[in-house]
Amino acid sequence: MDGSDPSTEVKRGAEAMWEALVAEGVEVVFGYPGGCIMPAYDVMPRYPVRHILCRHEQGAAHMADGYARVSGKVGVAIATSGPGATNLVTGIATAMLDSIPVVFITGQVPSKFIGTDAFQETDITGVTIPITKHNYLVTRAEEVYPILREAFELARSGRPGPVVVDITKDALQNVCAPVAPKPATSSKRPSRAKRGLAPSKPISEHDLDRAAALIASAQRPVILAGHGIVRSGSTELVTQLVEKCDIPVGLTLLGLGGFPATHPHALGMMGMHGEAWVNQAIQEADLLIALGMRFDDRVTGNLATYAKNAKKIHVEIDPAEVDKNVRVDVALIGDLKEVLERLLPRVADKKHAAWNAALGAKRAEVAPIDIVNTPHDGRLFAAHVMHDLYRLTEGKAVVVTDVGQHQMWEAQYYKHDHPRGLVTSGGLGTMGFALPAGIGAAFAAKEKEVWIIAGDGGFQMTAAELSTCVQDGIKVNVAIINNGYLGMVRQWQELFYGGRYVATPIVSPDFVKLADAHGLPGMRVTKREEIPAAVAAARATDKTFVVEFRVEAEDAVYPMVPAGADLHDMIRRPSKNNGGAK
Amino acid sequence: MSDRVSLRTFVVLVEDVPGVLNRVASLFRRRNFNIESLSVGKSHEPGISRMTIVVRGDDRMGRLVEANLYKVVDVVRVDDITHRPNVSRDIALVRVRATPADRAAILQVCSVFRARVVDVALDSMMIECTGTEDKIRGLVTLLEPFGVLEMVQAGSIAMTRGASAQSASAQSDAVEIDSGDDDDVDLTDEAA
Ligand SMILES: Cc1ncc(C[n+]2csc(CCOP(=O)(O)OP(=O)(O)O)c2C)c(N)n1
């Protein structure tokens, strides 16, 4: 395993598989066994890798994803062929859209059966072409080790993403003949693992100078902080740029935590459910500096009216994202950290007192009806929960959200000051993500407490993973925001479909009893003053703890830019007298 | 650089591995790029296949196609040769109704287009034609009155002119030779 060249030893493909994982420093894998992957499971106990048995392969996929997001390493999920592999699909697509490095290993029917519709055969490489960075079908034991190593490198290099390695049962069972070490690849072409992105030209001095000149001449600049800041570890450098040039910062959902929320220059989240002043700042800006973000339609609104008077600088690792949605004036294609290191010395200290003051005034004027500070009238709002959780955990928890209204409330009311403190499915918006992703996050965030926040709808999609917590002794805190509806869809029905609530009222089990059925402790909270006790009880146990928050049923997330509307054309929070609820 | 929508030709070198065509085709479908033509075959290098892909789009789309193609790991190299001197060829086989009385006229059309007759049956002929899309369209237009029974056309293949086709900097000074290269002479007008 260590030192010796594994490719020259006689061993089985299944052993080569684990050796590759160990060589990559993998400490935990998430998976589910089955016929075609059994040879790999059979030898697993010989290797120092922990295996977490999920209850559904989608769970394993999200666990590996959550682990990757918090640890910054490559996550690993394992499934058998056919139904095991197809159950991974939602998790693979989730990782793809958020650029999360995960290696998915799937079993495949023996190579001689491929193409015969054999029992539990699916063409999983075919199925996953559009939702992976790359995928492999491995049919020979000798290929297992080198292909897995390449898969890891691909997953984490450039713009990270998921890679599927589908290994036939015979490749796992057969003995690898000792092979001579591969000759070095010809220098004419980049190594396969280096590919997956256009060979970007080194960023020219000229382009850096142009960017610096735009920054120097801007009167109303705004930085758009995206996920790339988190992934490249550039928080520090971005903060330097912000402070040197006195530039306000709007954040994308996945950028939250990439720049500290409590920093005086932080405007908050932009986009569909961003704060009005952030979106207005963007619309009035004369320069947008987009850092590691991709102008998703949820942050731009109508492209035709988006930041019309702004010059745009786009720093992005993936050349295919540049000019995709928004045309930019200067594109700096490369690793954000490197770009910032070279850009910073070129920009002069600057003050934007008037601009920042104007934004501050706007912020004061349209400040949200601050539901968290209004005297409560006995009703419990989700915003209360988010704000109090933020306060009680001192902003230090790793929060893993599901998808829906609660996800947006979390983004609005939990202030993230640290990178990798928020785990959420941004690109795909995958319901059912939170519980399994939180289990994965718990393995990465060893020193931190993990809070999972899910809606009553989404939680039910993967609630079976509570059993995983029990079997593997995993400690997470689960907050279920129960409003009796598929809330976000109900909100759209309320606003855009004449209030016809079709298929959005949803019945739930008694979540506290559900926890109890798993042998897990739980509590129900219906009043704001009960929140601290529930949080304390959750923290006091080393078991997974479920808190059900019964919140206002028909509360809506505001402000809101309707899909496809102009970014500045927001539906504001309703007036004060109904406390923010409808 | 213009926003004008036009046909754009890409030469794409890919590793000759199973599924590579599927990956490239899947990319075009997923990104909603409209393929006008795609042909794939061997290159001069062992292990490397060569695709010629023609899409319709503006310069921005051209850049996005190129950047996205590079995201396919099996893609080794992408050249947008749209704006470089290049030779592009299609091949077509056309079966045309040919009564004994029409044969001479058909042969005459063929000779104008330097198309070849590759099969003759009692009442039909099969004609092979190589050239630009325009030329093939011209030929078919002239054959139509006789009765085109069946036709097949393969996607374009293309190569830049000059010494080193693969190097973008090699927009060489090589003389463009057209002698004997009949297909660059646009025969459509005079023939039609
Ligand atoms: C797998 C999946 N199916 C459907 C949707 C569409 N969707 C988005 S939000 C939402 C409602 C979520 O309801 P709930 O989990 O109760 O959370 P809430 O919005 O009430 O906070 C739905 C159905 C989705 N995002 N993912």
Q: Which residue of B has its CA nearest to A132?
A: B72
Q: Which residue of A has its CA nearest to B28?
A: A130
**Residue A103 near residue A91 (C-beta atoms within 8 A):** no
Active site residue A57: yes
Give the pLDDT confidence score for residue A575 in this predicted structure.
63
Active site residue A308: no
Please say whether the dihedral angle defined by the alpha carbons of residues A449, A513, A411 and A74, taken in this order, is positive or negative.
positive
Among candidates B22, B64, B78 on the partner chain, residue whose Cβ is nearest the Cβ of A126: B22
B161 lies within 8 A of chain A by CB: no
Encode pLDDT of A144-161 as tens digits.
999 999 999 999 999 999
Active site residue A120: yes
B6 lies within 8 A of chain A by CB: no
CA–CA distance, A297 with A572 (Å, rounded to integer): 20
B19 lies within 8 A of chain A by CB: yes
ipTM: 0.88
Q: What backbone phi and psi angles, to 5 degrees, belong to B10?
A: -115, 135
Give the pLDDT confidence score for residue A9 in this predicted structure.
62
Among candidates B23, B63, B76 on the partner chain, residue whose Cβ is nearest the Cβ of A129: B23
| Exposure of A308 in the CB half-sphere (CA atoms within 13 A) | 6
- The response to whether residue A428 sits with its C-beta less than 6 Å from ligand 1 reads no
Q: What is the whole-number distance in angstroms between the Cα of residue A518 and the centre of ligand 1? A: 25
Encode pLDDT of A442-456 as tens digits.
999 989 999 999 999
Q: Which residue of A has its CA nearest to B67?
A: A320
CA–CA distance, A166 with A170 (Å, rounded to integer): 12
Per-residue pLDDT of chain A (582 residues; tens, 9 = 90+): 444 555 556 799 999 999 999 999 999 999 999 999 999 999 999 999 999 999 999 999 999 999 999 999 999 999 999 999 999 999 999 999 999 999 999 999 999 999 999 999 999 999 999 999 999 999 999 999 999 999 999 999 999 999 999 999 999 999 987 655 454 444 455 566 666 666 667 889 999 999 999 999 999 999 999 999 999 999 999 999 999 999 999 999 999 999 999 999 999 999 999 999 999 999 999 999 999 999 999 999 999 999 999 999 999 999 999 999 999 999 999 999 999 999 999 999 999 999 999 999 988 876 655 677 766 688 999 999 999 999 999 999 999 999 999 999 999 999 999 999 999 999 999 999 999 999 999 999 989 999 999 999 999 999 999 999 999 999 999 999 999 999 999 999 999 999 999 999 999 999 999 999 999 999 999 999 999 999 999 999 999 999 999 999 999 999 999 999 999 999 987 765 444 443
Q: Across the beta sheet with A266-269, what order do the strands follow? A: A266-269, A249-251, A221-225, A287-291, A311-316, A330-333
A324 lies within 8 A of chain B by CB: yes
DSSP percent split of chain A into helix, strand, coil, nearest 5: 40, 15, 40
- The response to whether residue A481 sits with its C-beta less than 6 Å from ligand 1 reads yes
Q: How far is CA A463 from the centre of its chain?
A: 20
8 Å CB contact of B70 and A192: no
Q: Report the candidate in A381, A506, A531, A496 with the shortest Cα–Cα distance to residue A431.
A: A506
- The response to whether residue A235 sits with its C-beta less than 6 Å from ligand 1 reads no
Give the pLDDT confidence score for residue B72 in this predicted structure.
94
Split at pLDDT 50, 70, 90, the class of B177 is: very low
Give the pLDDT confidence score for residue A365 in this predicted structure.
79
Active site residue A570: no
What is the DSSP secondary-structure string of A553-578?
A: TTB---SB--TTS-TT-PBPPPPGGG
The tokens for B119 are 């099969």
Chain B residues within an 8 Å CB radius of A327: 60
Q: Give the number of other Cβ atoms within 10 Å of residue A74's Cβ.
A: 25
Active site residue A259: no
B4 vs A242, more confident: A242
8 Å CB contact of A195 and B63: no
Task: Please state at what angle helix A405-413 crosses helix A382-392, rounded to 10 degrees.
Answer: 40
Give the pLDDT confidence score for residue A71 in this predicted structure.
97
Chain A residues within an 8 Å CB radius of B67: 198, 318-320, 322
Q: What is the whole-number distance in angstroms between the Cα of residue A430 and the centre of ligand 1? A: 8
**Residue written as tokens 């129960």?**
A482
Task: Select from B71, B78, B80, B166 the residue whose CB has the most chain A CBs within 10 Å, as the one to mutate to test that interface.
Answer: B71
Chain B residues within an 8 Å CB radius of A192: 73
Split at pLDDT 50, 70, 90, the class of B183 is: very low
CA–CA distance, A20 with A215 (Å, rounded to integer): 46
Mean pLDDT for B9-22 is 94
Helices then strands, counting H and E runs in chain A, come out as: 23, 20
DSSP state letter for A477: E
**Residue A46 near residue A38 (C-beta atoms within 8 A):** no
Q: Closest residue (by CA) to atom 20 of ligand 1?
A: A487
CA dihedral B49, B55, B57, B58 (to 10 degrees): 40
Chain A residues within an 8 Å CB radius of B77: 189
Mean pLDDT for B75-102 is 94
CA angle A385, A280, A411 (to 5 degrees): 20
Chain A residues within an 8 Å CB radius of B166: none
